[in-house]
Amino acid sequence: MHLLVYLLAIVLFLILCWIVINGLFYPKYQRPLKNAPHPLVSILIPMRDEERNVQALITNLQKLTYPSLEIILLDDHSADQTHHIASKLIKGDERFHIISGAPLKKGWAGKVHACYQLGKAASGDYMLFLDADARLNQNTIENMLPFFQKKKVGLVTGFPHFPVTTFLSKLLVPMQHFVIWLHLPIGLANKSTFPAASAAHGAFMFFKREAYEHVGGHHAVKSSIVEDVHLAREMKRSGFHVRLINATPFVTCYMYETNKEVWNGFLKNIYIGIGRSPWMVGVLTIFYTLFYILPLPLATLAPFYGFWFALPLVLVWSQKLYIDLKTKQKSYLFLFMPLSAIAFLFILHASMWKSLRKQHYIWKGRAYK
């Protein structure tokens, strides 16, 4: 038993070192040049039943300071007041346009089809696909464009700051950052065109137009539910670089408001996100059980066997706390890391079984296999 605890502590310490070093490979933000040109940037937002978000979204976008913008909203057959509210709010602001989405074509995922139409409607040299629940700092565009100065950069993307309110969102939503910092070599993702070393977040996908069109745009991933990652891989297959940034200083995403939304959102994406691999589910189950769940019961034995039995849990907490601080997350959430690991594995298995049984995933009134 003591040997197991020592080995766990050593491995978890090495993982902590890896996380700290890995995070150093996020690209640094560069100050915008004072006399830099201002190419036209198209901000493109698909909206389906977004009446709870649309006012805050438009108010946020109206505060952007970049001088050369067009902002196109696509109403994707909303059943609520999304279109009415948006039309009223953008009245008199020439930067904004609202269009109605075409009927969903067979073989297309709903959001991908909406983004495809937005891409066709855009005029900008750069195209930022933004989710309706995302909010930008007012100088976001100016701070993103310098990343494209590097040769062959076709896409800038990153995981936003996630405000969390419900119990399940506190357990699962910040795990998106944790998984990237732990499992993805961030330097390789940024420096190479190796497709497997890719990550992206669909709430913030900033393309250079010529690169987007070169890979075929959203048409190239028309049936994908995780189109963000698949588009990043298409970029790399075509020889373009993807800049994966820590987007938390500039982008905030209010992903889910209820526990049910958290469950359905992760259920839809998580198994597909690991390539629908039962083998990978097995590996992740062993890994997270051994290194992120087992330390909790071991720590309860510390009063009887000494501090060493609590050390693995302290190292688990240290990893989560470090990432939470770097991504502007609530600092106390590190205490729930073993519960987050349990929730992560539970929904991963639920997503896998749903896929293996060929059941549909339901999202915003549409069914996906």
Q: What 3-state DSSP class applies to 42? A: strand
CA angle at 155 for the pair 22 and 213, rounded to the nearest 5°: 155
- Measuring CA to CA, how many Å separate 240 from each of 151, 199, 232, 254? 9, 14, 9, 30
Task: Please report, for the chain, the start and end positions of each structural domain, with discontinuous segments joined by +.
Answer: 2-23+260-368, 41-160+201-257
Based on the number of CB atoms within 10 Å of its own CB, is 72 exposed (0-12), middle (13-18) or buried (19 or more)? buried
Strands annotated E in 120-236: 126-130, 134-136, 153-159, 204-208
Q: Are strands 69-75 and 134-136 parallel, antiparallel or unpaired?
A: unpaired
In this structure, the chain runs to a length of 369
* DSSP class per residue in 50-83: -TTTHHHHHHHHHT---SSEEEEEEE-S-SSSHH
Tell the CATH topology of 41-160+201-257. Answer: Spore Coat Polysaccharide Biosynthesis Protein SpsA; Chain A (3.90.550)
Query: Which pLDDT score is estimated for 1?
Result: 72
* Amino acid found at 49: D
| 3-state class (DSSP) for residue 102 | coil
**Which of helix, strand or coil describes residue 318?**
helix
CA atoms within 13 A on the CB side of 114: 24
Q: Where are the alpha helices (DSSP H) in 206-331?
A: 209-214, 227-237, 259-273, 278-288, 295-299, 302-305, 311-326
Q: Which residue, 97, 133, 145, is CA-closest to 117?
A: 97
Among 95, 121, 137, residue whose Cα is nearest residue 209: 121
**Angle of the 82-90 helix axis to the 54-62 helix axis, nearest 10:** 20
pLDDT digit string (tens) for the chain, length 369 residues = 778 899 999 999 999 999 999 999 999 998 887 788 899 999 999 999 999 999 999 999 999 999 999 999 999 999 999 999 999 999 989 999 999 999 999 999 999 999 999 999 999 999 999 999 999 999 999 999 999 988 899 999 999 999 999 999 999 999 999 999 999 999 999 999 999 999 999 999 999 999 999 999 999 999 998 999 999 999 999 999 999 999 999 999 999 989 999 999 999 889 988 888 999 999 999 999 999 999 999 999 999 888 899 999 999 999 999 999 999 999 999 999 999 999 999 999 999 998 888 877 666 666 556
Sequence-separated contacts (24+) of 317-324 with Cβ below 8 Å: 318/16, 319/12, 319/15, 319/16, 319/19, 319/178, 319/182, 320/178, 322/16, 322/19, 322/20, 323/19, 323/23, 323/174, 323/177, 323/178, 323/181, 324/174, 324/177
Could you give the count of Cα atoms lying within 13 Å of 311 in the half-sphere of its Cβ?
17
The dihedral region occupied by 89, where left means phi > 0, alpha psi between -120 and 50, and beta the remainder, is alpha
Using the Cα atoms of residue 29, residue 32, residue 38 and residue 44 in order, give the sign of their dihedral: positive
